[in-house]
Structure formats: C-alpha cells, structure tokens
Amino acid sequence: MTAPARPRARRWPWLIALVAVAALAVGAWFAGEYIARGIVERTVRDQVQKQLALPADQQIDVDIPGQILPQLISGTLDEITLSSRDVPLGQLTGDVVVRASGVPIRGDGPATDASASLTLDAAQVQALLATVEDFPASTVTLAEPAIGIETELRLFALTVPVGVGLTPSATAGQLVLTPATFTVAGAQISAQALLDQFGAVGSTVIRDWDVCVAQYLPAGMTLSGVRVEGDHVVADVAIDGGIIHDPALQQKGTCA
C-alpha cells in the first residue's frame, strides 16, 4: 500500500516575512538618511554663520548631492554647495555661492577643491566703490562687458562731461578697473585723442583704479577673476581648502 503523499510545505509566509523585514530595513535606512542629512545641513549652516559672523536670520541654502550616510561612513562629503543672497561682508555685499568637493568631516585635512562666486548688482558695486578715494561711485552703471562711470574734465572755464567704460579684472587678489572706452559730449574717442584735446587734464581719467577687497574676505579666499554679466558684476574667488580647519585662514584678510 502506497503511503499518503506528504503535504508540500508552504513557503510563501516565509517569503512575506522576508519582504517585510527588507521593507523595514529600507525604511530604517531612509529614516536614518533623512535624520542624518538634517543634522549635517544644520551643522554646516551654523558653522558658516559663526565663522562669517552673519546675522542669525541669514538664509543659507545647503545642498549635498547623493546619499549622506555613505559619505558620513567614508568620512568625506563628496560635494557641497552653499548659497545665500545679500551676504554682508563689510562694505562688500552680494549673492554668494560656494562649491567644495572632497570635504573631510573627521581630522584636520583640507578640502580637495573649493571655489566661490560673488554676484553684485549696481547698487552693491556703488557701495563698494564709494570706499575708493575720488572715484565717482554714484555714477556707476553696469552693462556687459563694462562698468560705466561719468566724470568731468575742467579746462579753463569749460566743464566737459566724459563717460568711461571700465573693464574689471583681478590682479594679485585685487579688483582692477581699467579704462577701455571714452565718450566726450556723446561721441566716442580714443585715449590718445582725449590726451591730445585735454593734455595732462585728460590723464586723470586714463588710469587704472585698484580696489582692495581682501579686507572683506577671509584670508583663505582670494579674488581670482571679475566680469560683468548683463547688469551684474560676477567675482570668482579661489578658496584654500585648509580654511575649513585653519583659524588663520578664517580670519579677515588685510590690504597691503
């Protein structure tokens, strides 16, 4: 007589349990990811406000792409971007974006790479240039690719309005404004023609303007490039990766 067939074990409850455990693990991972991201972003924001002495209500956006937990485990943030509008840095105020990569979160090593950009509108450029002696800051206009100013040349009893288009650049960490175009009584003329007509008086507008901005930035940040984009000035800033740990690099710079 043949023995009755043994009932086949039902395995699907075990599969359901396995799926449930996996779902809980995934949920715990994402919960941990959410909590960890909030802590890291808040810590970064607080440190930036403290180091730059920013107002407590200064809005700072922190963006860290990718999952945060693996980066915390490795001890390095792959990439981080900080951005804030109307950041006050002494007489220098503008919209700031900072980008860094390879940022260590343990130890005292430097970031692999870091840079920043500072965007200023016409009013902010005027406020900065108002600190430069004899510069007609109140007349500043911005129109790519130049910073425009209006001044006057006095020759005997005559007062002649002169418009100057200045090309911005960065030299040895300083902002340098170099005359590129000249307009007299609505007509564009060359620098040589200006000198021919006005002599030594004309040389007062054919000159570079050097503007020290180091006093407004941490010592670990150096102006590396400047340009006019549309009706804004955009300044590029190189950042020493050691600034995240070195107090000396975090202090305000000085003008020689």
SS3 per residue for the chain? CCCCCCCCCCCHHHHHHHHHHHHHHHHHHHHHHHHHHHHHHHHHHHHHHHHCCCCCCCCCEEECCCCHHHHHHHCEEEEEEEEEEEEEECCEEEEEEEEEEEEECCCCCCCCEEEEEEEECHHHHHHHHCCCCCCCHHHCEEECCEEEEEEEEEECCEEEEEEEEEEEEEECCEEEEEEEEEEECCEEECHHHHHHHHHHHHHHCCCCEEECCHHHCECCEEEEEEEEECCEEEEEEEECHHHHCCHHHHCECCCC
Q: How far, in Å, CA of 126 to CA of 177, rounded?
A: 13
pLDDT in tens, the chain (256 residues): 455 555 555 555 555 554 454 555 545 556 788 888 888 899 889 988 887 888 889 999 999 999 988 888 888 999 999 999 999 987 789 999 999 999 998 878 899 999 999 999 999 999 999 999 999 999 999 999 999 999 998 877 788 899 999 999 999 999 999 999 999 988 999 999 999 988 888 888 999 999 999 999 999 999 999 999 999 999 999 999 999 889 899 888 998 7
Q: How far, in Å, CA of 158 to CA of 4, rounded?
A: 123
Q: How far, in Å, CA of 71 to CA of 135, rounded?
A: 49
Q: How far apart are the first and last CA of the chain?
A: 108
Give the pLDDT of residue 90.
Answer: 78
Is the separation of the CB atoms in 79 and 98 below 8 Å? no
Is the separation of the CB atoms in 71 and 64 below 8 Å? yes
Give CA torsion, residues 81, 98, 95, 119, to 10 deg.
-120
CA–chain centroid gap for 138, Å, is: 25
Both tokens of 76, joined, read 């390095």
Closest CA to 83 of 69, 66, 100: 100
For the question of whether the overall pTM of this predicted structure is more than 0.95, the answer is no
The residue written with tokens 């509108």 in the block is 121
Give the pLDDT of residue 21.
Answer: 47
